[in-house]
Every structure is written in structure tokens, then in C-alpha cells.
Amino acid sequence: MDKFIIDGGRSLKGTITISGSKNASLPILLSTLLTQEICTIHQVPVSRDINTTIRLLEYLGKKVERLGHSIKVSPRRPLKTYAPYDLVKQMRASVLVAGPLLARFKKVRVPLPGGCAIGLRPINIHLEGFKALGASVSYQKGDVILKANRLKGASIKLPFPSVGATENLLMSSVLIPGRTRIQNAAREPEIVDLADFLNRMGAKIRGAGKSVIHIVGVKELHGAWHAVIPDRIEVGTFLIACSATGGDLILEGTCPEHVGALLKKLKACGAVLDIFPNRIRIRMKSRPRTIGEIKTEVFPGFPTDLQAPWMTLMCFSRQGRCRIQENIFEKRFMHAAELARMGAQISVAPPPAGEAKSAPSRRSVGGGVDGTTVVVHGTGHLYGAPVMASDIRAGAALIVAGLAARGRTEISRVYHIDRGYEKIEEKLQGVGARIKRVKE
């Protein structure tokens, strides 16, 4: 297993080129299951989750060729309609094979992905949507089995604008006869990118990026090419890292409108921002000012995937408290305990008025932080320590902490970080960071 060793305290200065979005690439690659023709996807990041997706496509029967950031997917043999648990447990997004395979073969069997470090993450919204389209749902030995004699377009109202459920239902309804309407759909840029690709394949989707998406099912989809959007979470991570280290960075190949909520908060913290159509320059000349409150929300609100790095940034503000409320996942504060090892002062927020004082979800559990709200008391500095990544973004938060901390930080379990960031240490070395990867 690899770990990162970071000697902190150096400002990041220079230019970083942003990779394609991991979370857009995953459903786009899996939607190649909808056609028998060749698809080529460009600007796919090189990361562990993409490797897992490639293995999944190959297992299901596709031929996958990769050249740098381009991936060509062609037919090789008749597709299987079962995703193996071995791959699903490595990457929950594997459940996104359900939509395309159900639409094409009217049956699919997928292991239930189970919970993960950030929450329980059920897939009930996906399944209710498939039922509305005419599928039956049954369970066997930890797998969910979807079957249908006949699928038909339907009007589906999601109880929550789930990103994955919107993607799965989009990928099935494009091949299902009749009209489908997804209400309360997720509006994330990754949804728009997926719909763009599906439309290039011949799908008829209107309204992606809005709360109501309309789909008219077509008989078949053809091959297409597509370039994936820039990774807005990678952009956000580097913007925050620059702010924490008092640096001066140019991020090339960005979509500034995808990180609007973050840019607003960074400005309020004192960052100087120059925004161009596909480039952002950020300069931070002093310690970040404290922001009173951050609440994670669905797009276009502040993204949950940047909550952890933001928590690190607030540790470097010198006065004041930042209240951080996590509204998307119920257990996404594992990094708080690791930051505390580096000297962070983070406390669990008191329960809102009216809630029983002993409510377990708001208490400190097993030395970690559980619940939905924490308060960061900025002290202006952290010191290096050995810490452990628990998920992709918690790992990113520790990298930011290590870069700006005094002394040496050792981050173990960096395989979490490798799932979602392409060569993060090389990109950071290129802008002056002292970070290296070593074998544990």
C-alpha cells in the first residue's frame, strides 16, 4: 500500500491542468452498454475507479482500448446481465449498469452495493424508478434482480434528487418505449454531460440540468464520441489547497460555472479570483477569513464532495468559527478526527433546539465525529502528523492539511485518493509542493 509524505508550509504557485470528471466519466462509460456500435470517450481521467469501470465493461462483454485519456469501447461478445460483487464492492457506481442492461435485455442482476465510509447509501430511489417503468424487483443472496416482460415510459417523481438514480433512470428510459418524465431530477453538471452523450448516441432527452427531464424512448442507439467535462471537484480541491497555502495558481481547462458556490465562499474568505471561460486564477495573500456557515446542498449549492477540504481550510483561519452542516450524507465527517490529530479544533455542534440532548446521531462516537453539523474553531495553523484517509474526499482534505501544515504529514490508505484524483502528487509537485508517494 502506498502512502504520501508531505513536508508542509510551501505556497502553491504555477499552473495545473484539470482532468476530466471522474463522476461524469463513470455513467458515460457504462452507457456504452446501450449500443452495439463503437463509442469513443475522450478526457477520461486515469484513476482507480475508471480502471474498475473498464474491468466491469470487459467482464460484461465489451472490448475496451485505452490510449491516454481516450477510451474506445467496442462490442466483443454478447453482453452478460450480471455485475460481479467483486467489482461492485470496489465501486458502488457499478450499480449504474442496471439501467442500460435492464433497458436492453429486460433483466439484470446486481449485487446490492451496501454502505460505505460516508453513509448507508441505499438504492431504493433507483429501484422505485425501475418499478415505475415496469420492472419487478426481487432479492437473492445479496443481489437485486430486476425483470420485466414489458417496460413502458412513465412519470417518475424522485423523493430526493439523487444523482445516481437520475443517471440510472436516464440510461434505461432512453431505450424504453413511450415518454418518461423524471421529476425532482438531480441537476448536477454530470447529469447534463451524460444526457449530452446519450443524445449524441441518438437518444431524445430534453431538460437535463433542470428539475424535470423529458425522455422519448427510441428503438436503438448508435455509436458516438464525446469529451467529458472537467472535474469540478478536482478544481475545487486545488482552489482550496491554494487558499490554505497562501498561493497563486492558475487552473487550466475548468468550467467556472460548475464551481460557482465555492468561488463565492472563497471570495468571502479573501481569495482574489480571475475568472476566464475555461481558466481560473486564484491568489490568496493572507490567512483565509472565517465563513460563518457552510451547508452542503445539491447542485448548484455547495457540494458535499468539497465539504472535507473546506473543513481543512477553515482550520487555517485565525479567528472565528465555521459551522459546517452536511446535508447529503449522514456520516461524512471521518476526516474531522484525523484533522484533530493535526491540531484542529473541531467540535460536534449541539443538537438543534427541541432535539433530545442524548440523541446519538449528534454525539461523538468511538472517538470520531458523527452527526450532521460540526464547528471548526480556526487556530491559523495545523502541524504535521501521521493520518489516514477514509474516503476519496477525506483523503483530499488531509492532503490540503499536509500542504499547509507545519512539519511532516504522512497519509496512509492513499488508495482511496487514487480512486478519484489523477496523479495528484505529480500535479502538486509541479506547483511547488513537497509531496512524495512511498510504499508502506
Kindly list the residues in this chain that would bind ligand EPU in the complex (CB under 6 A).
23, 26, 93, 119-126, 160, 162-165, 186, 304-305, 328-329, 392-393, 420
What distance in Å separates the CA atoms of residue 7 and residue 408, rounded to the nearest whole number? 5
Mark whether 116 is an active-site residue: yes
Which residue's Cβ has the minimum distance to ligand EPU?
164
User: Which of 396, 389, 51 lies closest to 239, judged by CA?
Assistant: 396
Instruction: Please name the residues in contact with 235: beta carbons below 8 A apart, sequence gap of 6 or more.
Output: 18, 251, 254, 255, 258, 259, 280
- Report yes or no: 429 and 241 within 8 Å, Cβ to Cβ: no
Would residue 48 be called left, alpha or beta, if left means φ above 0 and alpha means ψ between -120 and 50 degrees? alpha
Pick the catalytic residue from 116, 242, 255, 322: 116
Smallest separation, CB 383 to ligand EPU (Å): 27
- Which phi and psi angles does 403 have, rounded to 5°? -65, -35
Question: How far apart are CB 24 and ligand EPU at their closest, in Å?
Answer: 8
Report the C-alpha gap between 178 and 399 in whole angstroms: 49
Q: Which is nearer to ligand EPU, 117 or 349 (CB)?
A: 117
CB of 287 to ligand EPU, least distance (A): 28
Least distance from C-beta 119 to ligand EPU, angstroms?
Answer: 5
Of 11 and 296, the one with the shorter C-beta distance to ligand EPU is 296
For ligand EPU, which is the closer residue by CB, 271 or 396?
Answer: 396
Set of cell numbers at residue 413: 490508505
Choose between 121 and 377: whose C-beta lies nearer to ligand EPU: 121
Positive or negative, the CA dihedral 89, 389, 361, 305 is negative
Query: Minimal distance in Å, beta carbon 16 to ligand EPU?
Result: 19
Specify the amino acid at residue 192.
V
SS3 66: strand
Give the separation between CA 383 and CA 410, rounded to whole angstroms. 11
Residues 401, 6: Cα–Cα separation, whole Å: 10
- Minimum Å gap between C-beta 37 and ligand EPU is 25
Q: In sequence order, which ranges of 304-355 are alpha helices (DSSP H)?
A: 307-315, 334-341
Peptide bond into 360 cis (omega under 30): no
Closer CB to ligand EPU, 54 or 385, in the complex: 54
Instruction: Report how far residue 77's alpha carbon sits from residue 60's, in angstroms, rounded to the nearest whole number.
Output: 9
The answer to whether residues 287 and 257 touch, using CB atoms and an 8 Å cutoff, is: no
Pick between residue 208 and residue 250 the one whose CB is nearest to ligand EPU: 208
**Where are the strands (E) in 26-152, listed by range?**
39-42, 62-67, 70-75, 107-111, 136-140, 143-147
Q: Which is nearer to ligand EPU, 11 or 31 (CB)?
A: 31
- In the complex, minimum distance from the CB of residue 94 to ligand EPU, in angstroms, rounded to a whole number: 10
* H-assigned helices in 232-306: 232-245, 260-269
For the bound state, the minimum distance from the C-beta of residue 230 to ligand EPU, rounded and expressed in Å, comes to 14
Smaller CB distance to ligand EPU: residue 4 or 130? 130
- DSSP, collapsed to helix, strand or coil, labels residue 190 as helix
Residues 148 and 138: their CA atoms lie apart, in Å, by 11
Query: How far is residue 346 from each of residues 340, 352, 377, measured CA to CA in Å?
Result: 7, 18, 6
Give the active site residues.
116
